[in-house]
């Protein structure tokens, strides 16, 4: 029986690339996104053409009730939850002294609480079957910080702490938990940045190129494979050398 992977925030961008790569690896794919369900279903249809089973859900990752219901339905429909990729995320940038409390709360809720909600829902299933892979997408700014992104940096740093603690708790049950810290990746989220910011970021990348969603997807693929069965509690930077 094919294994099943849940990928949050996967209707487009990095999440879509991850879901596509895991489908190529033979996983059935569950598309989770807060965008209109039509977009998620379109992505699911594209991935299904690769020869795997897919299902799309519209889900607010900040709602534990919605998340629990989705994970329960996935387990019933597919028979297992073998991989969870926590990718859903938002930004609401602004200088710290001007940042609105609601903008701080919103980013923490989606990026960090959303990761908690899905991990909390999937972990018991993985523990019961004594196998599972959890990969959460952090960020280079969760490691080194970034001006104008206090909320985003805090959420992504939180994901690292969550990942390491979960890894310690679940290791004896055959479940691994790792995080990936991307650098600057060309996605719809980063496309809206001013050209001056993009140029500054490119200048800070030793490899002198922007990352692509597939660069992140390839590392997720490794962490979800049997080749990474002895890797847990780690943060892998995929950033062209920005953070060394």
**C-alpha to C-alpha distance for 155 and 89, rounded to whole angstroms:** 9
| Residue 118 backbone class (left: φ over 0; alpha: ψ -120 to 50; beta: rest) | alpha
C-alpha distances in Å from residue 183, one per residue of 42, 133, 180, 227: 28, 23, 10, 24
Sign of CA dihedral 7, 8, 12, 15: negative
For 50, phi then psi, to 5°, come to: -80, -5
Is 230 catalytic? The answer is no
- Choosing from 57, 116, 152, 184, the catalytic residue is 152
The answer to whether the CB of 52 falls within 8 A of the CB of 4 is no
The answer to whether the CB of 86 falls within 8 A of the CB of 136 is yes
Catalytic residues: 152
């Amino acid at each position: 029986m094919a294994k099943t992977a849940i990928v949050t925030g996967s209707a487009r961008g990095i999440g879509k690339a991850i879901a596509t790569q895991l489908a190529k690896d033979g996983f059935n794919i569950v598309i989770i996104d807060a965008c209109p369900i039509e977009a998620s279903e379109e992505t699911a249809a594209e991935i299904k053409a690769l020869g795997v089973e897919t299902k799309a859900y519209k889900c607010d990752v900040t709602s534990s009730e919605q998340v629990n219901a989705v994970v329960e339905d996935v387990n019933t429909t597919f028979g297992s939850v073998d991989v969870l990729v926590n990718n859903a995320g938002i930004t609401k940038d602004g200088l710290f002294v001007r940042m609105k409390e609601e903008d701080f709360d919103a980013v923490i809720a989606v990026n960090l609480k959303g990761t908690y909600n899905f991990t909390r829902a999937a972990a018991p299933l993985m523990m019961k079957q004594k196998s599972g892979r959890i990969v959460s997408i952090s960020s280079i700014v969760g490691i080194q910080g970034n001006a104008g992104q206090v909320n985003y940096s805090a959420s992504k740093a939180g994901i690292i702490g969550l990942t390491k603690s979960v890894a310690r708790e679940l290791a004896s049950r055959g479940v691994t938990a790792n995080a990936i810290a991307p650098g600057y990746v060309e996605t719809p989220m980063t496309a809206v940045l001013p050209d001056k910011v993009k140029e500054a970021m490119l200048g800070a990348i030793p490899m002198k190129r922007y990352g692509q969603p597939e660069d992140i997807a390839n590392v997720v693929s490794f962490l979800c494979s049997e080749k990474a069965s002895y890797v847990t509690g780690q943060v892998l930077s995929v950033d062209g050398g920005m953070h060394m």
